[in-house]
Structure 1
Amino acid sequence: MIHHVQIACPEGGEDAARGFYTGVLGWAELPKPPRLAVRGGCWFAVPGGGELHVGVEADFRPARKAHPAFVADVDALAPTLAAAGHEVRWANPDEIPGRPRFHTDDPHGNRLEFLAPA
Structure 2
Amino acid sequence: MTFQFQGLDHIQLAAPAYSEEKARAFFGNILGMNEIPKPDNLKKRGGVWFAVGTQQLHIGIQKDFSPALKAHPAFQVKNLDGLREQLIHNEIVVIDDEPLEGANRFYVQDPFGNRIEFLERV
TM-score, normalising length: structure 1: 0.93
**Residue in 2 aligned with 1:69?**
74
Return the offset for 1:117: 2.8
What is the 5 A alignment of 1:1-118?
A: 1-46=7-52, 48-72=53-77, 73-93=79-99, 96-118=100-122
Return the offset for 1:68: 0.3
Return the offset for 1:98: 2.5
Unmatched segments (≥5 aa) in structure 1: none
TM-score, normalising length: structure 2: 0.90
* Cα offsets for 1:19-70 (capped at 9, x unmatched): 0000100000000000001110000001x32010000001001111100000
Percent pairwise identity: 45
Structure 1 consecutive aligned stretches of length 4 or more whose deviation exceeds 6 Å: none
Aligned length: 115
Amino acid at match of 1:54: I
RMSD of Structure 2 on Structure 1 (CA): 1.0
Q: Residue 116 of structure 1 aligns to a residue in which SS?
A: strand
Structure number with larger C-alpha Rg: 2
